[in-house]
């Protein structure tokens, strides 16, 4: 079962209990919502988009079957809790979110099925958490405060890397392990003065 919410101001607290078979939840353009209740543990996919006042999510640790989590253009959302406890998670998109705190992201390296991470235009992001070696696609376009991405050097499965318009990045070091890299976009990275290890990726 799938459920779509658009332009509502509040979600019922009982949603987790009564919709115990819900697989796909899509919440869009709900500009009055500031928080969400505990969500059904049956979810496989969760999309939250353009909820401009959303400041916090419930702890997501109960969503053991969740494989896709897209939380985008929620510009007041500063953290996402429980990500490290989602063993089925493959695809995470936080484009356009504030994400000033990395607490919820620090355990992503425990997710052995994790394949895709997109954090475009997370303008308060200054560094990356440790990431799992299973990651294949990483997009950080427009993360203007991002100062270092040293963890990328260990992502041996990485196929696509987009760091375009990351204007605070100054160095890209030890890229020689990225043997599977097929697409590398570093346009408008005007502060980069040093790159090492690219020869090993050819």
Residues 88 and 39 placed together within one structural domain of the fold: yes
Domain of 99 in residue numbering reads as: 1-113
Query: Do the bridges between strand 2-6 and strand 24-28 make them parallel or antiparallel, or are there none, so unpaired?
Result: parallel
In the block, which residue shows the tokens 């009982």? 14
- Rounded Cα–Cα distance for residues 69 and 109 (Å): 16
Using the CB atoms, write b or e for 77-86: b if 16+ within 10 Å. Answer: bbbbbbbbbb
- Rounded Cα–Cα distance for residues 32 and 89 (Å): 28
φ and ψ of 164, to 5 deg: -60, 140
Task: Write out the H or E segment, with its range, that includes residue 17.
Answer: helix 15-18
Residues 87 and 178 placed together within one structural domain of the fold: no
pLDDT digits (tens, 9 = 90+) for 45-63: 999 999 999 998 999 999 9
Beta-ladder partners of 2: 24
pLDDT digits (tens, 9 = 90+) for 73-86: 999 998 899 999 99
pLDDT of residue 71: 97
Total tally of structural domains belonging to the chain: 2
- Rounded Cα–Cα distance for residues 58 and 109 (Å): 21
- Rounded Cα–Cα distance for residues 170 and 67 (Å): 34
Residues 3 and 73 placed together within one structural domain of the fold: yes
pLDDT digits (tens, 9 = 90+) for 80-133: 999 999 999 999 999 999 887 766 788 899 999 999 999 999 988 998 989 999
Residues 95 and 145 placed together within one structural domain of the fold: no
Q: Is the pTM of this model over 0.85?
A: yes
What CATH number is associated with residue 95?
Answer: 3.80.10.10
Q: Do the beta carbons of residue 175 and residue 196 sit within 8 Å? A: yes
Residues 126 and 47 placed together within one structural domain of the fold: no
């Amino acid at each position: 079962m799938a459920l779509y919410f658009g332009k509502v101001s509040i979600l019922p607290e009982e949603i987790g209990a009564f919709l115990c078979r819900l697989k796909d939840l899509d919440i869009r353009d709900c500009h009055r919502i500031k928080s969400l209740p505990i969500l059904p543990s049956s979810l496989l996919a969760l999309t939250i988009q353009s909820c401009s006042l959303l400041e916090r999510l419930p702890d997501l640790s109960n969503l053991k079957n969740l494989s896709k989590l897209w939380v985008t253009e929620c510009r007041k959302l500063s953290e996402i809790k429980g990500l490290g406890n989602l063993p089925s998670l493959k695809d995470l998109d936080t484009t356009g979110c504030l994400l000033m705190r990395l607490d919820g992201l620090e355990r992503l390296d425990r997710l052995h099925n994790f394949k895709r991470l997109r954090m475009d235009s997370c303008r308060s992001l200054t560094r990356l958490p440790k990431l799992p070696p299973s990651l294949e696609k990483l997009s950080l376009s427009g993360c203007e405060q991002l100062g270092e991405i040293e963890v990328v050097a260990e992502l041996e499965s990485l196929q696509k890397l987009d760091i375009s318009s990351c204007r605070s990045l100054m160095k890209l070091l030890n890229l020689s392990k990225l043997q599977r890299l097929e697409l590398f976009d570093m346009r408008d990275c005007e502060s980069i003065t040093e790159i090492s290890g690219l020869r090993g990726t050819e």
